Amino acid sequence: MMSILNEQEEGTLPRLFTTPTDRTAILAGKFLAVLITVFIQGCVLLIAGRLAFRANWGQPLSMLLALLGQVIGATGLGVFLISLVKTSKQAGPILGGGLSAIGMLSGLFTVAVPNIPSFFNTISLFTPQGWVLRGWKLAINGSSPSELLLPLAVTLGMGLVMFFIGAALFRRRFA
């Protein structure tokens, strides 16, 4: 997603937006490229974990569904967060701070903490990372692919909503 800011600073993105191509289509192309790249990276990491550490990720299809939910949610969140910053210099602090805050709310930092207050579980339902975490827990614990449909649907929905909000913010910025 940083390529969007780099292209903006270099002037190629505003030039792309002057073409008859819809801005959402341009951003969707970038979204798809990141989605594919991150999915391949995730597959490589899962395979490496299996081969190097004999990690058991559960059923292969469940694992792929958990990974797909993670990739879609993360990519949509990336488009949204990148749409909030104006320069690549702003991106590091804003993305780092935003992702850390959302990670804390989603339960990523408290996975192994016993007796965590229940309101943290409720708050995590409003974050893509919270649903991704639920999906991975299900997959790793041997759940069937059908049991991962709810976390997948929620992360898909959140990812798409954040993508379209980010696209609207980009459209407004380059109007």
Q: What is the average pLDDT value for the chain, to the nearest integer? A: 90
Distances (CA, A) of 1 to 21, 49, 90, 133: 19, 26, 13, 22
Please work out, in degrees rounded to the nearest 5, the angle formed at the alpha carbon of residue 159 by the alpha carbons of 95 and 35. Answer: 80
How far is 24 from 103, CA to CA, in rounded Å? 28
Predicted structure pTM score:
0.87
Dihedral-angle region of residue 144 (phi above 0 means left; psi in -120 to 50 means alpha; beta otherwise): beta
Res. 5: pLDDT tops 90: no
pLDDT (average), residues 89-110: 89
pLDDT (average), residues 5-19: 88
User: Helix 60-83 to helix 88-106 angle, to the nearest 10 degrees?
Assistant: 130
pLDDT bracket for residue 160 (50, 70, 90): very high
What pLDDT is stored for residue 24 in this prediction?
Answer: 80
